[in-house]
């Protein structure tokens, strides 16, 4: 009884800390000011973008029209594609492709929900694959038939002795990240003898289906695929999901507990996130998110035509509503921040307190979404010092 009361108190505090009166979305001038400020700090979602490039792109943007945004950043990105064509060394050519990819990616951010942003997304993928041509170990584009369409994923295997089977991490991107992003961010796994299969989460990128109650079936197909590869150790596969990708990872921790040796769920929305109250007070106009968080969800959820549809389509996605919360899981690492306004951190507390398998956790009391805390705990540091060691341990890797 004492524990239940404590959990209830934590839940109330956690929800109240982020649930505020709905605020309007940023104006275009506010977006431009905030984007430049984040670029100067190297903060998400403009990580890796030179401040001068961001400033040049923003100077071309004067409205909140999605294609206006796409045009500004795509124009700057095209300069780097042109520079890559003129480069005289592979090193310079590759560096320009990386810059072009990052700028095209931000041109389509948060989701390619217009013609201009769709063109930017295609250009981002093309630029990334040109960059991938210089990778060692190589990147393989995997195409798997799926329900009349296909799954597109990226595979990189570490260097290994002939006949050696390697452990793998299934890396699931989030709402506005992509398989290109997670492949780039988690590449250090390769040096430890661990392979990576990177994939877009449902509704995003090249995913073959939108977000629905059972869209994880497409991710389960990827586990089938990994177990079929002769280079892969079928008994050493883990999954890592970031943000909304953490939601899918948490579902896999239950549904695939016998096929996954571990799951990392980073700021996973699980239960209260999907409530009407949090949608109204935490998602609409969210200021931790640069802009258009609710419209981005509208674009990726099956059946959603406008933001108001989220009030009816989100609640059934709760793991509690689906009867999965509290079910046995594979070993898990739960990562997040108490000051996260995008996902109520009480969802993480609920996950940690449920089921019958002890879970590991890294919760930053001063952290926001994904546990980030400015230059103190950026994404890269969290991965290298918290997530990577845990994944290596559960995978039995060096």
Handedness of CA 356, 358, 360, 364 (dihedral sign): positive
In a domain, 78, yes or no: no
In a domain, 360, yes or no: yes
Question: Do the bridges between strand 149-156 and strand 140-146 make them parallel or antiparallel, or are there none, so unpaired?
Answer: antiparallel
Minimal CA–CA distance to 6: which of 382, 387, 292, 350? Answer: 350
In a domain, 163, yes or no: yes
In a domain, 149, yes or no: yes
> How high is the pLDDT of residue 319?
97
- Domain encompassing residue 381: 138-275+314-395
C-alpha–C-alpha distance, residues 319 and 41, integer Å: 36
Burial 3-13 (b: 16+ CB within 10 A, else e): eeeebeeebee
> How high is the pLDDT of residue 22?
63
In a domain, 73, yes or no: no
Q: What is the DSSP string of 383-398?
A: IIIIIHHHHHHHHT--
| Cα within 13 Å of Cα(251), Cβ side | 26
C-alpha–C-alpha distance, residues 233 and 366, integer Å: 38
> How high is the pLDDT of residue 6?
32
In a domain, 24, yes or no: no
Number of structural domains the chain divides into: 1
The tens-digit pLDDT sequence of the chain (398 residues) is 223 333 333 444 444 444 455 678 899 999 999 999 999 999 999 999 999 999 999 999 999 999 999 999 999 999 999 999 999 999 999 999 999 999 999 999 999 999 999 999 999 999 999 999 999 999 999 999 999 999 999 999 999 999 899 999 999 999 999 999 999 999 999 999 999 999 999 999 999 999 999 999 999 999 999 999 999 999 999 999 999 999 999 999 999 999 999 999 999 999 999 999 999 999 998 999 999 999 999 999 999 999 999 999 999 999 999 999 999 999 999 999 999 999 999 999 999 998 888 999 999 999 999 999 999 999 999 999 999 999 999 999 97
Write down the pTM of the prediction.
Answer: 0.93
- Residues forming beta bridges with residue 168, ordered by sequence position: 195, 237
Q: What is the DSSP string of 98-127?
A: HHHHHHHHHHT-S---SHHHHHHHHHHHHH
C-alpha–C-alpha distance, residues 171 and 4, integer Å: 34
In a domain, 378, yes or no: yes
Handedness of CA 173, 178, 179, 185 (dihedral sign): negative
Distance linking the first and last C-alpha atoms of the chain:
43
CATH number at residue 389: 3.40.50.1820
In a domain, 119, yes or no: no
C-alpha–C-alpha distance, residues 316 and 309, integer Å: 12
């Amino acid at each position: 009884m004492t524990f239940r009361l404590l959990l209830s108190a934590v839940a109330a505090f956690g929800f109240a800390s982020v649930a505020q009166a709905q605020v309007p979305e940023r104006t275009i001038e506010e977006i431009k000011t905030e984007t430049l400020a984040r670029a100067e700090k190297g903060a998400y979602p403009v990580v890796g973008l030179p401040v001068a490039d961001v400033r040049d792109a923003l100077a071309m943007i004067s409205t909140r029209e999605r294609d206006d945004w796409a045009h500004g950043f795509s124009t700057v990105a095209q300069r780097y594609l042109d520079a890559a064509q003129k480069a005289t060394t592979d090193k310079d050519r590759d560096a320009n492709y990386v810059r072009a990819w990052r700028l095209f990616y931000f041109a389509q951010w948060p989701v390619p929900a217009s013609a201009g942003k769709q063109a930017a997304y295609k250009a981002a993928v093309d630029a990334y694959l040109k960059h991938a041509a210089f990778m060692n170990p190589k990147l393989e584009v995997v195409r798997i038939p799926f329900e009349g369409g296909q799954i597109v994923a990226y595979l990189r295997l570490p260097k290994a002795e002939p006949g050696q089977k390697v452990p793998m991490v299934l890396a699931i991107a989030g709402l506005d990240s992509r398989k290109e992003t997670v492949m780039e961010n988690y590449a250090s796994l390769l040096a430890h003898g661990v392979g990576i299969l990177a994939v877009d989460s449902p509704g995003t990128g090249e995913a073959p289906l939108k977000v629905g109650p059972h869209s994880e079936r497409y991710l389960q197909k990827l586990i089938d695929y990994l177990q079929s590869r002769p280079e892969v150790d079928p008994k050493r596969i883990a999954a890592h999901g970031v943000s909304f990708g953490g939601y899918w990872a948490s579902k896999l921790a239950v549904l695939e507990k016998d096929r996954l040796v571990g799951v990392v769920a980073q700021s996973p929305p699980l239960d209260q996130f999907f409530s009407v109250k949090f949608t109204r007070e935490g998602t609409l106009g969210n200021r931790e998110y640069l802009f258009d968080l609710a419209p981005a969800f509208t674009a990726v959820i099956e059946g959603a035509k406008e933001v108001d549809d989220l009030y009816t389509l989100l609640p059934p996605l709760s793991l509690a509503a689906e009867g999965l919360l509290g079910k046995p899981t594979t070993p898990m690492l739960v990562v997040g921040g108490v000051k996260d306004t995008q996902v109520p951190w009480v969802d993480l507390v609920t996950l940690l307190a449920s089921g019958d398998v002890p879970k590991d956790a890294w919760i930053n009391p001063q952290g926001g979404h994904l546990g980030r805390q400015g230059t103190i705990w950026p994404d890269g540091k969290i991965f290298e010092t918290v997530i990577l060691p845990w994944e290596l341990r559960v995978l039995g890797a060096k």
